[in-house]
Amino acid sequence: MKLPNFLNFNFTKFISLIVTLLLLSQCGLYKKTDSRKIPVNANERVKKNLEEGKRLSFSQLTNRGSGTFEFASSNEMWRATIDVLDFIPLSNADYGGGVIITDWYTETENNDSIKIMVQFLSNDVRADGLKIVVYNKTCSVQNPNNCTTNIDEGNISGELKLAILKKAAIYKTENTNKVIKKNKNKLTGLPK
């Protein structure tokens, strides 16, 4: 006698399915919980899980650490650049992108103005960690809308870079002295 198709199954597949379900039930993936002990509010559940040490850390799954993000106030090059360029209104200051762009600046009544772009290539205080481009804009006296713009090859960018590096070196020395003083107080009384 032949069985209908829906009753015709492979006995080994059935047994392996039963064994798999039994093994999964014993590995602790499913735990009974008392709903009276679990907060209803999601924020309270998160707080409770963090207090109990139950959390998921993606850095542990990927074995990669997160990036280092310094605040702008702790980066000496950034602070020095802001201090040196404080006489010009800033058009864009993007710490994450490492760029500061000033607005067009005119010092005298003539129709010449400059715009400065500072690009940070490194957080370290060094000359090759900074790229400064100065743009010159010259407008016609008769027609102020007729302007030409070019990159200044003069020594304005060199002078700015030198001023920024000097001020950044001062900030770096101050920060280093603070760290030394702080750690020196911690080490007082310890054997050398």
User: Tens of pLDDT along 70-105?
Assistant: 555 668 999 999 999 998 999 999 888 889 999 999
User: Tens of pLDDT along 14-23?
Assistant: 888 888 877 7
User: Tens of pLDDT along 167-188?
Assistant: 999 999 998 888 888 877 666 6
* Edge-to-edge strand ranges of the sheet holding 130-139: 90-94, 99-102, 112-120, 130-139, 147-151
User: Tens of pLDDT along 28-47?
Assistant: 555 666 777 777 777 777 77
Residue-level pLDDT at 59 = 47
Check: pTM over 0.75? Answer yes or no. no
Angle between helices 76-84 and 156-187 (to 10 degrees): 140
